[in-house]
A = this chain, B = another copy of it.
């Protein structure tokens, strides 16, 4: 599996819910169109923005399947299989392999926490082993899980224990840690930084593949184009746009509920609300968010061109 390299933008899509809070399967086709039309080539599904942890195992399987089906020929699907329970994660991993997912990824259990990198490797080895033909990415998001490990050390220890390991999704916000991981074993592992605001900083360090909110396809595509041409000024000014977009999100609270509404507003695809324990926005909150996006001139920023 040495040669698997992801090459292209990765979206972390929200899970669409209908009025009753059930996954809205009617929208996936259109959703995949939207992502493909805004320069995404991969989707990282059932992750954090997708509220994957608030879905049952059955719902996660159905959602993964829906993405594989509707992404066919356009979007490669990375299925997030992390849970608090190894058996559940193994079931999800096996299923992902069966339905032909491009790859799987998993975050650590976070209620019971592995006490060190060795335990993490052991856990992930037993998880990855049930999907022996599918590339595996460790997903680190320490501020959300409360589990702080040394990712470089994880990679070194995992090398001989997880044959399918291809890299990690690094959403810790700590660029130097991510950069350090790209230096392990002569660059054997690919680091997919999870970020809405540090794309240019990643590019300059040689980490071209990032996982981003699904509103950012156009913008990140433009940043990459400018960067590849050596036009750093343009790249920087586009990166500032991403920063300003993010600041609007933060000003309204900054949570997944806000990010999801922002996507509905900017994409025109109705994502519905969030599941508890996240808080549903009021109509008024949603309206104010839209007004701010409009004032900033961002209403068309995410639309296919």
Q: A residues within 8 Å of B by Cβ?
A: 48, 51, 53-57, 59, 83-88, 108-115, 118-120, 122-123, 126, 144-146, 152, 173-176, 179-180, 183, 197-198, 200-201, 203-206, 230, 232, 235-236, 239-240, 243-244, 246-247, 255-256, 275-279
Closest B residue to A255 using CB positions: B115
Q: How far is the CA of A54 from the CA of B115 in the complex (A)?
A: 15
Query: Closest CB-CB distance, A194 to chain B, in whole Å?
Result: 13
* A113: B residues at CB distance < 8 A: 277
Cβ B56 vs Cβ A276 within 8 A: no
Q: How far is the CA of A122 from the CA of B152 in the complex (A)?
A: 34
Query: Closest CB-CB distance, A245 to chain B, in whole Å?
Result: 12
* A118: B residues at CB distance < 8 A: 279
Q: How far is the CA of A287 from the CA of B205 in the complex (A)?
A: 32
* A276: B residues at CB distance < 8 A: 86, 114, 119, 122-123, 126
Cβ B183 vs Cβ A243 within 8 A: yes
Count identical subunits in the complex.
4
Q: How far is the CA of A71 from the CA of B181 in the complex (A)?
A: 39
24 A-B residue pairs with CB within 8 Å: A53-B84, A54-B84, A54-B85, A54-B86, A54-B112, A56-B88, A86-B275, A86-B276, A108-B277, A110-B111, A112-B256, A114-B276, A114-B278, A115-B279, A123-B277, A152-B247, A173-B176, A175-B175, A176-B246, A179-B197, A180-B247, A183-B243, A205-B236, A205-B239
Cβ B278 vs Cβ A112 within 8 A: yes
A51, A126, A175: residue with the most chain B Cβ atoms closer than 10 Å: A175
Closest B residue to A256 using CB positions: B112
* A108: B residues at CB distance < 8 A: 277
Known A-B contacts A54-B85, A88-B56, A236-B204; A114 and B179 likewise in contact (beta carbons under 8 Å): no
Q: How far is the CA of A123 from the CA of B243 in the complex (A)?
A: 29
* A57: B residues at CB distance < 8 A: 57
Cβ B111 vs Cβ A240 within 8 A: no
Q: How far is the CA of A200 from the CA of B204 in the complex (A)?
A: 7
